[in-house]
Amino acid sequence: MKLNVGDFYENIQCENFRDPETSRIRVRPLDGQNLPTDILIECSKSERESHPPGTKFITKNVKVCKKTDGRIYLRAKDQFIEKIG
């Protein structure tokens, strides 16, 4: 799937997980939302780390962004994610 820098996606459900490469707790979109599930969502470190891996969250919207090294990622609005269910 081609993501365009600057695009927004609304009401994204996501989950936190332990990144095997860095051992850090990260957040990624859940399947079935027209987003790749291997892309990272930048959000509040305290919120993503205060719950065990596999916790489900929702964010009002995410923006497609690009790091200086060229990696594409999603940034949660105001870095806010909310635990669901």
| pLDDT band at residue 2 using 50, 70 and 90 as cut-offs | confident
- Alpha-carbon distances, residue 73 vs 27, 32, 62, 85 (angstroms): 11, 18, 9, 25
pTM of the model: 0.93
Residue 1 counted as domain residue: no
pLDDT digits (tens, 9 = 90+) for 24-82: 999 999 999 999 999 999 999 999 999 999 999 999 999 999 999 999 999 999 999 99
**Cβ atoms of residues 82 and 57 within 8 Å:** yes
Asked whether residue 2 is domain-assigned, the answer is no
Rounded distance between C-alpha atoms, residue 38 and residue 58, angstroms: 17
Which residue range is the domain that position 64 belongs to? 8-83
27 inside domain: yes
Of 64, 85, 60, give the one whose Cα is nearest residue 75.
64
* Number of domains forming the structure of the chain: 1
Whether 70 maps to a domain, the answer reads: yes
- Residue 73: what pLDDT? 97
Classify residue 46: in a domain, yes or no.
yes
